[in-house]
Structure 1
């Protein structure tokens, strides 16, 4: 049976959604579009749509034509329905169908895992995939479970921590080998296991509406341990010319800082939205941009200057979005700056992907690097 790669289709779609997503919200809020694309709809579009496309592109691998059409069809349907009908039942069904089918396709891939740290990805991805359905149904059945965006962001933070580490370590190893050095601390399994356990604890606490310290304290510990992991890797020993590695490291730093800011906001009872955007714009945006560049633009060239694009643009976007909630007199301008830098980053990536696809077609090379 012929099987088709998911990377190019879903990575390109995620890139397009990232470009237009912020502007659908801004133009709706300013009354220039007669849509029901509210802040809540925007959040679901980015969390379920953008994140879902990234997971499909990176983990779904090759699928049969029927599976690929069903997966992509439900994803596209969700994007159309959220634009024309906002938070409608039809959109919720599309979110749920896509997420559940995505989990069905990916979760079995981790069955062969031998280490429990790897096996934890099975329930994590299953819960992420089923989150849209669960968030619509479970709160109607019980008041003891709360499935808010906060819980989902913590879930994808755990996924980014795990997958990010798995991508960074080979790049570090190659970089160290090129310079004649040895990478002493690679996976750091005990630290990795501890961070996953802490994040899972914070996720459970948030789902069951525990008091803020029960969510914040394990999150603080996890964030600090991520910084310890980064310090032990000692990336500063490697040249800045390893642009792909430094982009990944930047995303990992944003992940730690975002979780830390989220935890502190909970403890001092400040709004958590700014810190959640540090995770979604800084960490998710930078890590996903680097992965998409590797697959669709640079053909895994570790020293390509393309990788500096998300480092600079998304750093600016993250800082502007974080500052927006603390500088209300400049909030509109900062929001526009953040949205512009975010969209520009993904627009540049899209141009690079189209250019690479054209070059590959004319040279007869494969359109995309497989993993």
Structure 2
């Protein structure tokens, strides 16, 4: 695996992974949820590959989320290793492969499912290769953990496509929930690494030191949830519910120790803390579903996806884009509104659909509008940040 020479200066958009991947992800977040919300409301028809429900779930996980994970990892690996990150033509090719997958998923009903699946499945293995190269080059084995996670994400994507190819819906559920747990795991790992550090740096306070047993137990619980889905949901519902209850409780304790109350005046911090809060909330909602069917599975899933993933994605994109473009970590004031819109969308989509089921159409449309407005604000604010050179003249 080769990367462009550090002496080359490609267009600013292709100088580091976060730039194109964050931009296309933000644009796609608006298009995908706008299309889904309008279809659900009956404003227009949508007949994509796999059907509209399959498309919505697949594209938010393997289109939107995967793009942001890619942008973050391909940028972080340069910091971790000191090896120049992928840029220029290889990065443009990666973006093209991602875009081909999105186009085929939208207009794919007339194509062979095997062809659509094969082309869509190219993206994450390419990302894994670009990640593995610098990590192996400098023998940084600790962060090599992300490469098998990307391989498992590829497997999860294959399982969702297998449901279309075989006509067996259970493959879609297994693949999508495997991806859900894998991304939750990534959020827990990365959140644990950066949130205490960012909080200390941003508030001028002492960093909260991790409690070893709490960190290990919290992450182990999510690993067990990943393995349970990977091997076909072997755990009985009551055992799975207790595991989710334990996981949610541990991550809630973890979150509380990071002192969210110190961050309320710093948008780049409170947004990260609030996003992480949706992880224990989602896990506790899963416990409520499996222990007594007190909450719909969809409510738990959307706490993790809209609130957890959507919130953390926007918060991390906002911070990473400023830091890696040489700008001060001071977002435009309107970004506080963008963060709030995403969290409000999560609450409307989850609590609203549960408590106001008779008005489900209004709830879904409102949540879609809030989400799209949030990412529209991000796109407008960060377009120049992502498409122009660093303000300090450095590469990247």
Q: Does residue 1:2 correspond to 2:5, yes or no? A: yes
Report how many residues are paired.
359
TM-score by length of 1: 0.86
Change in CA separation of 1:357 and 1:318 when aligned onto 2, cut-off 3 Å: closer
- 1:213 match: 238
Instruction: Check 1:366–1:27 CA distance in 2 against 1; reply closer, same or farther (3 A cut).
Output: farther
CA distance in 1, matches of 2:130, 2:338: 30
2:45 corresponds to: 33
Unmatched runs of 5 consecutive residues or more in structure 1 = none
Higher normalized contact order (CA 8 Å, seq sep 6+, divided by chain length): 2
Q: 1:149-188 residue pairs with structure 2 within 5 A? A: 149-176=176-203, 178=204, 181-183=205-207, 185-188=208-211
Summarize the Cα distance change of 1:272–1:107 in structure 2 as closer, same or farther, 3 Å threshold: farther
TM-score (norm 2): 0.81
Q: CA RMSD in A?
A: 3.0
CA-to-aligned-CA distance 1:351-371 (integer Å, 9 cap, x gap): 00124457x56xx7269995x
**Number of the residue aligned with 2:81:** none
Worse overlay, 46-55 or 217-226? 217-226
- 1:128 counterpart = 2:158: no
Contact 1:258 1:279 in 2 (8 A): yes
**Structure-to-structure mapping, 1:194-213, within 5 angstroms:** 194-207=217-230, 208-210=232-234, 211-213=236-238
How far apart are the structure 1 equivalents of 2:354 and 2:289? 12
Task: Tell me the secondary structure at the aligned position of residue 359 of structure 2.
Answer: helix
| Cα distance, 1:74 vs structure 2 | 1.5
Tell me how far apart the structure 2 counterparts of residues 367 and 149 of structure 1 sit (CA, whole Å): 42
Q: Using a 3 Å threshold, how does the CA distance of structure 1 residues 203 and 170 change in structure 2: closer, same or farther?
A: same
| Structure 1 position 50, deviation (Å) | 0.7
Structure-to-structure mapping, 1:75-114, within 5 angstroms:
75-86=98-109, 88-107=113-132, 112-113=139-140
The reply to whether residue 57 of structure 1 matches residue 57 of structure 2 is: no
Aligned to 2:216: 193
Unaligned 5+ residue runs, structure 2?
A: 7-14, 76-84
Give the equivalent residue in structure 1 for 2:373.
Answer: 344
**1:365 alignment counterpart:** 391
Cα distance change on mapping 1:314 and 1:257 into 2, 3 Å: same
Render the CA deviation track for 1:320-342: whole Å, top value 9, x for unaligned: 11121442211011101100000
Q: 1:47 aligns with which of 45, 61, 77?
A: 61
Superposed CA offset, 1:77-105 (max 9, x none): 11111111259433322221112222222
Q: Tell me whether 1:290 sits opposite 2:290 in the alignment.
A: no
Whole-angstrom CA distance in 2 between matches of 1:144 and 1:76 = 27
Where do residues 189-268 of structure 1 align in structure 2 (5 Å cutoff)? 189-207=212-230, 208-210=232-234, 211-236=236-261, 238=262, 240-268=264-292
Once residues 60 and 315 of structure 2 are traced to their aligned partners in structure 1, the CA distance between those partners, rounded to angstroms, is 18
Query: What whole-Å deviation, never above 9, does each CA across 1:272-309 have from its counterpart, x for those lacking one?
Result: 11111111110111111011112335835157534423
Seen in structure 2, the aligned counterparts of structure 1 residues 355 and 242 have a Cα distance that, compared at 3 Å, is same
| SS of corresponding position for 1:241 | coil
